[in-house]
Chain A
């Protein structure tokens, strides 16, 4: 269990439960779903929550429509939904260490500690591991034996699917952190929206 008063902590010290902390925060929660498509692989208190939430998350939908020109005008053929994607951009957060502060050291022989020993770097490695896993169950030879899914939960929405890309950038423009981007292909989406049942007196602007 983490110290109740840690010196360093991520944005979500209670992990996925921070959504219900009353602080008004909504963590993006990653989970691995077994090949049966239902069972969660990660225990409840080990759902992956990043050190900081993504800075951008785009949800993209498309329809598959083919249009052909004929002598009588255009003929449209509608084939339903195309692939749905989630594009993430995020940062690791600062590589902060005790006694040394922000660290970009990579040689343990020179300093006795490196940026690898930071919460932010750890969180990045967690996400990278999740990308490598991608819901797959590997056999002893390292081949994919069974395939599950990744589940992403965010503020009432659940997206099932798989990572497609993951890139890491270290740049002088943003020292002491990595910039990450990831692509995710959505297989299925579940949304829980809210509605007022009736509004006899809705709150509306005076202007």
Chain B
């Protein structure tokens, strides 16, 4: 990664790897596997929109893991947020690794996957030994296998990238409540009692993009013969593209984050007794909401066969406001400033805050129209969709068959 890169600078390709959260613990009720797809996920969403206003989920490791670091402990709630520099995040993560006995990740010397594999081996070896001895009774919190279990899951949480939604939620309701009442009546009237504020609850609902997947250019014409099509790769916008689509695979990632919820599960004993409790953080609008997802729901509907709507309830434990200066609204000024209408400082600020052609489109120059929407790439002709984007057949079939 470049010297000045931030955690949010994920490569374009990694966003489309559906299995990048593979290995996250999700509790005893769910078993999942990832199979390799032959089609190519297609993302038709507007990347510029999510770069300008990203809505990001990330996992927060349990704060207790940093307890031994004392005053030098990093704030785990802010570890890995998109604007943090990659170097700072790595340094903080390594300090946490040192505190819990996990090998440091140093990039060139020890890769993240090496560390995970090592921990996995320790955990597996412990389980095998346990089975060999036929010992089914063991301590939950002081056992070495359990310690390895905790280490592996914390390391996994440190390594998984934040999840920036392809499509921002279509609704986010923030509910602030008070804990107070004025119902007890005395001879002198009602008594007002107040215990402060309740926890903030976010009600978030959104939708995936369309289920669309492509195919390799050499197979873009799809099946040409009658026969068994069990292994064909579905392409285009259709329900059959669901499992291969970037849209659904991101819903799966979001679902994995919900199931994990920042918890350190007892994956060895497969009990519901959690070994530690972390959190989920939502970064949006220069705010960070740290808490846990209480519920998650998604719906298949005949009225929207090529996408899925989802919703969740999120209870906030702590909020951060990272708003940059100025935090007050500046005096209104014309969008086409004339001579003397803005000070030099204001002009400098405006220039710095305005996206340029090079600041979007992954560093590649792009055309910007007046609304700020990213237009066609320079290497793609206007008025026609390249075949590599379209894939092969579009078969408009759906859930109902």
Binding site for B on A (CB under 8 A): 11-12, 18, 20-27, 52-63, 65, 67, 69, 74, 76, 78-81, 84, 155-156, 186-200, 202-207
Kindly state whether residue B297 has any CB partner on chain A within 8 Å: yes
Asked whether A65 and B34 contact (CB < 8 A) given A55-B302, A56-B300, A80-B274, the answer is: no
Partner of A63, one of B19, B22, B46, B292: B292
How many residues from B make CB contacts under 8 Å with A? 87
Question: Is the Cβ of B294 less than 8 Å from the Cβ of A155?
Answer: no
Question: Is the Cβ of A22 less than 8 Å from the Cβ of B232?
Answer: yes
Name which residue of chain A comes closest to B22, CB basis.
Answer: A195
Question: Is the Cβ of B43 less than 8 Å from the Cβ of A74?
Answer: no
Kindly state whether residue B339 has any CB partner on chain A within 8 Å: no
Asked whether A65 and B315 contact (CB < 8 A) given A189-B30, A207-B376, the answer is: yes
Main secondary structure of the interface of B (DSSP, over half): mixed
Question: Is the Cβ of A26 less than 8 Å from the Cβ of B240?
Answer: yes
Partner of B400, one of A22, A53, A84, A205: A53
> Which A residues are in CB contact (< 8 Å) with B399?
25-26, 53
Name which residue of chain B comes closest to A197, CB basis.
Answer: B36
Q: How far is the CA of A55 from the CA of B300 in the complex (A)?
A: 8
Kindly state whether residue B272 has any CB partner on chain A within 8 Å: yes
Kindly state whether residue B357 has any CB partner on chain A within 8 Å: no
| For the complex of A and B, 6 pairs with smallest distance between CB atoms | A22-B229, A195-B19, A25-B401, A24-B240, A195-B18, A80-B272
Question: Is the Cβ of A155 less than 8 Å from the Cβ of B36?
Answer: no
Question: Is the Cβ of B36 less than 8 Å from the Cβ of A207?
Answer: no
Kindly state whether residue B261 has any CB partner on chain A within 8 Å: yes
A3 to chain B, nearest CB (A): 19
Partner of A203, one of B42, B232, B243, B277: B42
Q: How far is the CA of A155 from the CA of B13 in the complex (A)?
A: 25
Partner of A79, one of B46, B272, B401: B272
Question: Is the Cβ of A65 less than 8 Å from the Cβ of B232?
Answer: no
Contact with A along B354-397 (1 / 0, CB 8 A): 00000000000000000001111100100001101101000101
Question: Is the Cβ of B29 less than 8 Å from the Cβ of A199?
Answer: no
Partner of B300, one of A57, A69, A198, A199: A57
Question: Is the Cβ of B27 less than 8 Å from the Cβ of A194?
Answer: no
Question: Is the Cβ of A81 less than 8 Å from the Cβ of B272?
Answer: yes
Q: How far is the CA of A79 from the CA of B27 in the complex (A)?
A: 11
Q: How far is the CA of A190 from the CA of B317 in the complex (A)?
A: 31
Kindly state whether residue B293 has any CB partner on chain A within 8 Å: yes
Kindly state whether residue B223 has any CB partner on chain A within 8 Å: yes
> Which A residues are in CB contact (< 8 Å) with B298?
58-59
Partner of B12, one of A12, A67, A204: A204
> Which B residues are in CB contact (< 8 Å) with A20?
228-230
Question: Is the Cβ of B294 less than 8 Å from the Cβ of A195?
Answer: no
B310 to chain A, nearest CB (A): 9
Name which residue of chain B comes closest to A57, CB basis.
Answer: B300
Question: Is the Cβ of A194 less than 8 Å from the Cβ of B44?
Answer: no
Name which residue of chain B comes closest to A190, CB basis.
Answer: B31
Asked whether A207 and B374 contact (CB < 8 A) given A18-B401, A22-B229, A196-B18, the answer is: yes
Kindly state whether residue B66 has any CB partner on chain A within 8 Å: no
B215-262 contacts to A, CB under 8 A, are 223, 228-230, 232, 234, 238-240, 242-244, 246, 249, 252, 258-259, 261
Question: Is the Cβ of A194 less than 8 Å from the Cβ of B249?
Answer: yes
Question: Is the Cβ of A194 less than 8 Å from the Cβ of B34?
Answer: yes
B290-309 contacts to A, CB under 8 A, are 292-303
Question: Is the Cβ of B317 less than 8 Å from the Cβ of A11?
Answer: no
B27-51 contacts to A, CB under 8 A, are 27, 29-37, 40-48
Question: Is the Cβ of B292 less than 8 Å from the Cβ of A78?
Answer: yes
Question: Is the Cβ of B13 less than 8 Å from the Cβ of A78?
Answer: no
> Which B residues are in CB contact (< 8 Å) with A196?
16-18, 36-37, 40-41
Question: Is the Cβ of B18 less than 8 Å from the Cβ of A193?
Answer: yes
Question: Is the Cβ of A56 less than 8 Å from the Cβ of B41?
Answer: no
Q: What are 10 residue pairs bridging A and B, where the CB atoms are less than 8 Å apart in the complex?
A: A22-B223, A25-B240, A26-B401, A55-B302, A56-B302, A58-B297, A62-B295, A194-B243, A202-B16, A203-B40
Kindly state whether residue B80 has any CB partner on chain A within 8 Å: no
Q: How far is the CA of A47 from the CA of B12 in the complex (A)?
A: 43
A80-B272, A190-B30, A205-B45 known, 8 other contacts, Cβ within 8 Å: A52-B400, A76-B317, A81-B29, A194-B244, A197-B17, A197-B19, A204-B44, A206-B380
> Which B residues are in CB contact (< 8 Å) with A61?
258-259, 295-297
Question: Is the Cβ of B376 less than 8 Å from the Cβ of A206?
Answer: yes
> Which A residues are in CB contact (< 8 Å) with B373?
207
Question: Is the Cβ of A24 less than 8 Å from the Cβ of B395?
Answer: yes
Kindly state whether residue B54 has any CB partner on chain A within 8 Å: no
> Which A residues are in CB contact (< 8 Å) with B48?
207
Partner of B36, one of A63, A76, A195: A195
B222 to chain A, nearest CB (A): 10
Q: How far is the CA of A198 from the CA of B239 in the complex (A)?
A: 23
Q: How far is the CA of A155 from the CA of B373 in the complex (A)?
A: 36
Q: How far is the CA of A63 from the CA of B258 in the complex (A)?
A: 9
Question: Is the Cβ of B274 less than 8 Å from the Cβ of A191?
Answer: no
